[in-house]
């Protein structure tokens, strides 16, 4: 097959089509700006800490993330407990109520975010000497992001995009910084 107009070689990217997509893009861009600004500020505030002190800060930050996971698990459990229709969960064979479905969606996303954040905090603290102020700031961004994501989840993708992206980009930024630092050591 010869590539041409009838047989494109790669998928065609469609432009943003509706307000929801525009809202998501704006929320994600704003969150990226906040994360980058926070990292710049925390880098300038950082003073050298021992590896042990940096790792202790990462453990504290990881505990904050884990507490968000515990809160999301507890929320699903509480909703199931107070609803006779939901109390048996998947074992009943009936679908969850809309409230439990939303809580489960928040729980799944929180689990994904925690799994990304904890190793990011620990790696950043271990590898980057100037990360003493960054790690607590990233944990603060994680908490603000989770709060906004959770509070706005039912309002739609555009409403929760900033909270999602604030949580996600802060962890990804930490991993990118670690990768750059490690590459700098190898080169």
Condensed to tens digits (0 to 9), the pLDDT of residues 106-155 reads 999 999 999 999 999 999 999 999 898 999 999 999 999 999 999 999 99
C-alpha closest to that of 101 among 111, 90, 91, 113: 90
Cβ-Cβ contacts under 8 Å for 151 (sequence gap 6 or more): 163
pLDDT at residue number 3: 60
Main-chain phi, psi angles of 7, to 5 degrees:
-135, 80
Helices (H), the chain: 19-45, 51-82, 98-127, 134-152, 157-186
Please give the share of the chain, as a percent, with pLDDT higher than 70: 91
pLDDT category at 170 given cuts 50, 70, 90 is very high
In this structure, of 85-99, 124-138, 173-187, the range with the lowest mean pLDDT score is 85-99
pTM for this entry: 0.85
pLDDT at residue number 47: 79
* Structural contact between residues 120 and 126, judged by C-beta atoms closer than 8 angstroms: no
pLDDT at residue number 141: 98
* Structural contact between residues 146 and 167, judged by C-beta atoms closer than 8 angstroms: yes
């Amino acid at each position: 097959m010869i590539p041409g107009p009838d047989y494109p070689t790669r998928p065609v990217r469609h432009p943003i089509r509706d307000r929801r997509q525009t809202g998501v893009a704006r929320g994600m861009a704003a969150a990226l700006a906040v994360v980058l600004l926070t990292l710049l500020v925390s880098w300038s505030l950082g003073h050298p800490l021992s590896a042990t002190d940096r790792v202790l800060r990462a453990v504290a930050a990881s505990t904050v993330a884990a507490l968000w996971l515990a809160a999301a698990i507890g929320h699903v459990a509480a909703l199931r407990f107070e609803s006779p229709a939901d109390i048996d969960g998947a074992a009943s064979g009936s679908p969850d109520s809309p409230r439990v479905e939303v809580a489960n969606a928040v729980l799944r996303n929180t689990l994904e975010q925690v799994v990304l954040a904890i190793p990011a905090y620990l790696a950043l603290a271990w590898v980057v000497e100037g990360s003493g102020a960054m790690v607590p700031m990233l944990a603060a961004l994680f908490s603000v992001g989770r709060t906004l994501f959770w509070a706005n989840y039912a309002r739609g993708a555009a409403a929760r995009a900033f909270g999602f992206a604030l949580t996600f980009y802060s962890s990804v930024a930490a991993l990118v910084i670690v990768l750059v630092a490690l590459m700098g050591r190898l080169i």
